[in-house]
Amino acid sequence: MSPSSKITGVDGASLSACIVNIAERGDREAFARLFSHFAPRVKSYLMRLGAVPEAAEELAQETLLTVWRRAAAFDPTRAAASTWIFTIARNLRIDLSRREARGVPADDPSQHDSGPAAPDDALSSVEDEDRISRALATLPKEQAQVVALAFFADKPHSEIARDLGLPLGTVKSRLRLAMSRLRGALAERRP
């Protein structure tokens, strides 16, 4: 690490700062640090969703390349680095599966990403990520299970319910409880 580099850790704030540094001055060292932290986790996420390791690694590469190219669109007051990178990986995965399914040519599926956000409502920054992580760890087991399935099984509510042998209403209410608890964790910091 060069002594001039102000960013050394892998906490949320320094990861966000890496993206800002890429946007501001094409900081390759910051990119390398982001890559080392996120690429293996993006790969894990995609493998959880059923991708084979080679395909997951290729999409993780694409994800970090997109981070480099679109760094200027990242707003650290609006989202944590992990949130932004998660949405990029998710969108690339959707684009890829759409191309594989030979559907219509895909446009950007997430136009809301660049859409207007109400600044005072928008999620800000890295303390939120810590709050969410802590709240996730305290969720009751059955709620944590549906949250994990929702994000890592690539299935809508209806299929999760079928897999668990639960009524759809039960799955919906568990997920609603979990999300409101997580939302409550975010609300703590709000005045």
Partner 1 sequence: MSPLHHPDDSLLVDYATGALDAGARMVIGAHLGACPGCSTTVAEAEAVGGALMSTLPAATMSPDALALALARIERPAPAEPTPLDGPADWIAVPTEVVRAATRRRRWAAPGVWVAPISQRPGGARSYLLRVGAGMSVPRHTHRGAEMILVLKGCYVDGDIRHGPGDFAVNDDSVDHQPRAIGEVECVCLISADSALVPRDWVGRLFQPFVGI
Which residue, among 178, 139, 172, has the nearest Cα to 158 in the 3D structure?
172
CB of 163 to partner 1, least distance (A): 13
Number of shown-chain residues binding partner 1 (CB under 8 A): 78
CB of 9 to partner 1, least distance (A): 14
CB of 6 to partner 1, least distance (A): 21
Under the binding rule (CB under 8 A), the answer on residue 27 touching partner 1 is: no
Under the binding rule (CB under 8 A), the answer on residue 40 touching partner 1 is: yes
Q: Helical H runs in the chain?
A: 12-25, 28-48, 53-70, 81-100, 125-137, 141-152, 157-164, 168-187
For partner 1, the binding residue among 75, 155, 164, 166 (CB under 8 A) is 155
Residues whose CB falls within 8 Å of the CB of residue 149, separated by 6 or more in sequence, listed in order: 155, 160, 163, 164
- Which parts of 85-104 interact with partner 1 (CB under 8 A)? 85-87, 89-91, 93-94, 98, 101, 103-104
Which residue, among 67, 71, 5, has the nearest Cα to 36 in the 3D structure?
67
Under the binding rule (CB under 8 A), the answer on residue 172 touching partner 1 is: yes
